[in-house]
Amino acid sequence: MFKQLTSYLSALAFAVLLAACAAPGQQPGEMEIRSGVIEQISFVDLQSNQHQGVGAVVGGLAGLGIGSLIGGGSGRDVAMVLGTIGGAIAGNQIQKRYDKPVQGQQIIVRTSYGVLVSVTQPTNQALFQGQRVFIEGSGENARVVPR
C-alpha cells in the first residue's frame, strides 16, 4: 500500500514538474493578433488547394476496379494492370484541368512597433494601401484583416 501511494505521488510530482517546465506562450486555440498599417499590396498567383496526385490515385483505383471485372485468369490480371495505368493517366489529366492558380495578395504591413511584416493570402477586396489592419496568427496561418 505504501509503495503504491509513493508511486502515485512520484507520478504526480513528475507531471507537475513537466508542466512547470513547459515553454510559456500561446495555449492551444489562442491566436496572436498584431496591428499596423498596410504599406503595399501586390497581386500574386497562389498554388491551388488541390492535392497533387489525387486524380492519378483515384483514376488508378477506378481503372483497377473496372479491369478486375474483365475476363479471368491471366487475362484478368493484364486487364487490371492496364486499367490501373490508364485510369491513373486519365485521372491525372482531369486533375490538371482543375488545378489552376488562385489569385492572391502579398501584403506588407508596418506594425505599431515599426516592423515590416509580409503576409501572402487569398485576395481580400476590403483591403487597401494605408488601411489600419490586424495581423491574426503567425507563419503560414497569418491573415491580414481590416480593423
Q: Is the pLDDT of residue 110 over 70?
A: yes
Contacts of 10 (CB under 8 A, 6+ apart): none
Tell the residue number behind the cell numbers 515599426, with chain if given.
114
Please indicate, yes or no, if residue 22 is contained in any of the structural domains: no
The answer on 71 and 59 residing in a single domain is: yes
pLDDT at 5: 56
Q: Is the pLDDT of residue 27 over 60?
A: no
Taking the mean position of all CA atoms in its chain, how far away is CA 52?
A: 13
The answer on 60 and 76 residing in a single domain is: yes
115-131 pLDDT, tens per residue?
899 998 888 888 999 99
Q: Is the dihedral of CA 80, 81, 83, 88 positive or negative?
A: positive
The answer on 117 and 91 residing in a single domain is: no
Q: Is the pLDDT of residue 112 over 80?
A: yes
Please indicate, yes or no, if residue 8 is contained in any of the structural domains: no
82-95 pLDDT, tens per residue?
888 888 888 888 77
pLDDT at 30: 58
Please indicate, yes or no, if residue 123 is contained in any of the structural domains: yes
The answer on 141 and 74 residing in a single domain is: no
| Grid cell locating 113 | 512597433
CATH number, domain with residue 121: 2.40.50.590
Question: What's the number of domains the chain is made of?
Answer: 2
The answer on 42 and 109 residing in a single domain is: yes
Q: How many CB atoms lie within 10 A of CB 46?
A: 15
Task: Tell me the average pLDDT across 108-113.
Answer: 91
The answer on 107 and 94 residing in a single domain is: no
Q: How many CB atoms lie within 10 A of CB 139?
A: 6
The answer on 126 and 89 residing in a single domain is: no
Tell the residue number behind the cell numbers 508542466, with chain if given.
19
What are the φ/ψ torsions at residue 145 (nearest 5 degrees)?
-130, 150
Closest CA to 124 of 104, 140, 99: 104
Please indicate, yes or no, if residue 11 is contained in any of the structural domains: no
Mean pLDDT of the chain: 78
The answer on 107 and 35 residing in a single domain is: yes
pLDDT at 23: 46
Q: Is the pLDDT of residue 41 over 80?
A: yes
pLDDT at 50: 59
Please indicate, yes or no, if residue 80 is contained in any of the structural domains: yes
The answer on 64 and 40 residing in a single domain is: no
Q: How far is 10 from 108, CA to CA, in rounded Å?
A: 52
Tell the residue number behind the cell numbers 483514376, with chain if given.
59
Task: Tell me the average pLDDT across 35-64.
Answer: 81
Q: What percent of the chain has pLDDT over 90?
A: 16
User: In 23-38, which positions are buried (b, 16+ CB within 10 angstroms) versus exposed (e)?
Assistant: eeeeeeeeeeebebeb
Please indicate, yes or no, if residue 141 is contained in any of the structural domains: yes
Expressed as residue numbers, the domain containing 43 is 27-47+101-146
Cα within 13 Å of Cα(49), Cβ side:
4
Please indicate, yes or no, if residue 19 is contained in any of the structural domains: no
Q: Is the pLDDT of residue 2 over 60?
A: no
pLDDT at 66: 85
